[in-house]
Structure 1
Amino acid sequence: MEIFWTGVATIAVLLIIFVVLPAMIDSPTKCHEPPLVRYTPEQAHRVTQKLKNCDVGMCEAKACAFRTLCQAGRTVPAPMAKW
């Protein structure tokens, strides 16, 4: 009976390692929803300050605010790293 439970525990650990954890890593969670109406540059500035800890790639609200600031000429995106 002990061998049975060892096998069950092993299968559970393997499922967590190869199924659950990759699914958690690959599925980004959205932090904040985008606005229904486009931000004004002033609103976008306040949003980027409020969401300073959010990543532009993960947070739709901050991404929208960042695009607005770029289009208004208030910020310039950093150049991509060359590998």
Structure 2
Amino acid sequence: MDARIRSELTGFIVDNYLFGDVSRTPAVDESLVEGGVVDSTGILELIEFLESQFGIEVSETETVPENLDTIARMTRFVLGKQHVLETA
């Protein structure tokens, strides 16, 4: 499951922020903000993607680097949110 989520996140980032340039694909633990891949507007677009693609809701208090700054962190965040939905 996490490989699928990671792959979808990576694809979205490459398509929408790197304009298909796979040679610039960030490592899973590379900061998207510090690496210049996304800015504050890009984070909002990422949140919209996470919500629509993975059926989760991202609250304002969850929009922190610990959840959204790397592909690995976003993958863990999505998995955690989906787990909560499954057990609710």
TM-score range, shorter chain: under 0.3
Q: Which protein is richer in helix relative to its size?
A: 2
TM normalised by structure 2 equals 0.26
Query: Which of structures 1 and 2 has the bigger CA Rg?
Result: 1
